[in-house]
Homo-oligomer: A and B are copies of this chain.
Amino acid sequence: MLPTQLSENRAAATATPQSMEAGRQRQGRLWSNLKEVCDLLHIPSAAAINSEELLFQHVQFKTGQRIHTIGQPFDTLYIVNSGFLKTVLIDEFGNEQVLSFPMKGDMLGVDGIHSCQYASEAVALSDCDLILLPFKKLTALGRVHLELENMMYGVMSRELVREQAMIGMLGALSAEARVARFLVSLAERFSQMGYSSKLFNLRMTRHEIGSYLGLTLETVSRTLSAFNEIGLITVDQRTIGIKDPEALKTLRRLPPSRSRAKSAASRSKAAADAAAAAATTSTAAPAAQPAQLVATA
């Protein structure tokens, strides 16, 4: 594999550089110490922790495997070390409602603390490497290592803030704005993880995206096509290229379709309209700049 390649995300799905760094082989599995866990969660680990003793076990899941199911007794939290997942609620007719798409650095299972049963189901969308955090052990440890306790509260609060933002989005935004923000937030996540924020592969189906955003898969597909048509993004199946992140960030509604339908030549005009409709101060992107390729960590 070349260090620069299009299918960068597929790399994360198997053995990543990261999972090599943050873990040591032992008894045929991987383990991480407290510092590595804190780093993964972006918690300043305050050095003071001398804990080659305190190790947390990793577990690998293959694509499609279930990490936990609804109602299953809760006893451990998980941190995503590599890979991509979805968490879902199942309604009375067995329909899935996607709640989140956890990836590197995210915590899973927090919703199980309250009732001692997981309240959602987590499924691997790619091969995954997760770190196990036995909850009892964790809280006990938290009483000794203050930064760990802060970490716990911080991560749970962050999760809550994220869900609040989600509620705000579902409650207030149009279909187009939801899809736009979804793309932007994905791009930001990838960027944080050291991947390209300009070109990436979606790990989930249109159906899953739709469920997550409260839309049908057709609406998602149409919206992506529309964004492509006015030059905000490029779409090829699950490969997305972000062309105008600023316009996506502030987009509220697309210009009326007639201004798109008129002619293919009016592309730049349509993009300008979109930016205007977005009530943004950002300048329209200077056409298609060459997509930045992958920076392998």
Report which A residues bind B (CB closer than 8 A).
89, 91, 93, 95, 97-99, 110-115, 119-120, 139, 143, 149, 152-161, 163-168, 170-172, 211-214, 279
Which B residues are in CB contact (< 8 Å) with A111? 157, 160-161, 164
Whole-angstrom CA separation of A166 from B163 in the bound complex:
9
Contact between chains at A214 and B171 (CB < 8 Å) = yes
Subset of 10 A-B contacts with CB under 8 Å = A89-B165, A93-B279, A113-B157, A114-B155, A153-B156, A156-B157, A156-B160, A160-B163, A163-B166, A170-B214
A-B pairs with lowest CB-CB distance, top 6: A113-B157, A114-B157, A171-B214, A170-B170, A163-B163, A114-B158
Contact between chains at A171 and B113 (CB < 8 Å) = no
Contact between chains at A168 and B97 (CB < 8 Å) = yes
Which B residues are in CB contact (< 8 Å) with A213? 171
Which B residues are in CB contact (< 8 Å) with A91? 168, 172
Additional pairs, 8, CB under 8 Å, beyond known A156-B156, A163-B163: A97-B171, A97-B172, A114-B154, A114-B157, A115-B161, A152-B153, A166-B167, A170-B214
Interface class of chain A by DSSP: helix
Contact between chains at A119 and B164 (CB < 8 Å) = yes
User: Closest residue of chain B to A172, judged by CB?
Assistant: B97
Closest CB-CB distance, A195 to chain B, in whole Å?
A: 24
Contact between chains at A170 and B167 (CB < 8 Å) = yes
Which B residues are in CB contact (< 8 Å) with A172? 91, 95, 97, 211, 214
Closest CB-CB distance, A205 to chain B, in whole Å?
A: 16
Which B residues are in CB contact (< 8 Å) with A160? 110-111, 114, 156, 159-160, 163
Which B residues are in CB contact (< 8 Å) with A171? 97-98, 170, 211-214
Whole-angstrom CA separation of A213 from B110 in the bound complex:
25
Which B residues are in CB contact (< 8 Å) with A113? 153-154, 156-157
Closest CB-CB distance, A31 to chain B, in whole Å?
A: 25
Which of B99, B110, B114, B161 sits near A168, CB closer than 8 Å? B99
Which B residues are in CB contact (< 8 Å) with A212? 171
User: Closest residue of chain B to A250, judged by CB?
Assistant: B92
Which B residues are in CB contact (< 8 Å) with A155? 114
Whole-angstrom CA separation of A174 from B164 in the bound complex:
20
User: Closest residue of chain B to A158, judged by CB?
Assistant: B114
Which B residues are in CB contact (< 8 Å) with A163? 160, 163-164, 166-167
User: Closest residue of chain B to A97, judged by CB?
Assistant: B168
Which B residues are in CB contact (< 8 Å) with A154? 113-114
In the complex with contacts A91-B172, A143-B143, A167-B99 CB distance below 8 A: yes
